[in-house]
Amino acid sequence: MARKPLHVIVVGAGLAGIAIAHGLKKHNISYVLFDRETTPRDRNWGITLSWALPLLESLLPAELVSQLHLCQPDTSLSVAAASEQGVLVRDGLTGAVKIRMKYPSGVRRMQIQKTKRVLSAGLNVHYGKKLESLSYGDDGSVTAHFADGTSETGSVVIGADGGASKVRRCLLNEEDAAQEVLPYAFMNFSFSLPADKARWLDAEMNPSVDVAPHPKGMYMGLFLLDKPDLDRPETWVFYVLVTWPIASKEDEENTDNRLERLRAHIDGWADPYKSVVDWLPDDVVIGADQLRIWHPKKWDNRGGRATLAGDAAHSMTFHRGQGGNLAIKDAYEFVQQMVEAEEGKKSLKEALDSYDEGVVARGQEVEISKQQAAAFHDYDNFDNSPVFKMGIKPAGS
The residues binding ligand FAD (CB under 6 A) are 11-17, 34-37, 45, 47-48, 129-131, 160-162, 166, 188, 241, 310-312, 318, 321-325, 327
Q: What is the rounded CA–CA span in Å between residue 69 and residue 393? A: 23
**Residue closer to ligand FAD, measured from CB, 17 or 233:** 17
Instruction: Rank residues 307 and 346 by Cβ distance to ligand FAD and give the closer one.
Output: 307
Q: How many CA atoms lie within 13 A of 277 on its CB side?
A: 23
Beta partners for residue 144, in sequence order: 134, 152
- The answer to whether 265 touches 216, Cβ cutoff 8 Å, is yes
CB of 305 vs ligand FAD, minimal distance in Å: 18
Nearest to ligand FAD of 306, 346 (CB atom): 306
Question: C-beta of 95: minimal distance to ligand FAD in Å?
Answer: 21
Which residue, 25 or 129, has its beta carbon nearer to ligand FAD? 129
What is the closest distance, in whole angstroms, from the C-beta atom of residue 344 to ligand FAD in the complex?
29
Beta carbon of residue 307, minimum distance to ligand FAD (angstroms, whole number): 13
The least distance separating ligand FAD from the CB of residue 194, rounded to whole angstroms, comes to: 25
- Count other Cβ atoms within 10 Å, centred on residue 344: 8
Could you give the strand order of the β-sheet that contains 151-154, starting from the edge strand earlier in sequence?
131-136, 142-146, 151-154
Closest separation in Å from C-beta 20 to ligand FAD: 9
Rounded-to-integer distance, Cα 131 and Cα 159, Å: 10
Which residues lie closer than 8 Å to 165 by C-beta, 6 or more apart? 12, 159, 177, 308, 311, 312
Q: Measured between alpha carbons, how far is residue 372 from residues 141, 210, 292, 303, 390 in Å?
A: 41, 16, 14, 36, 11
Of 318 and 382, CB closest to ligand FAD: 318
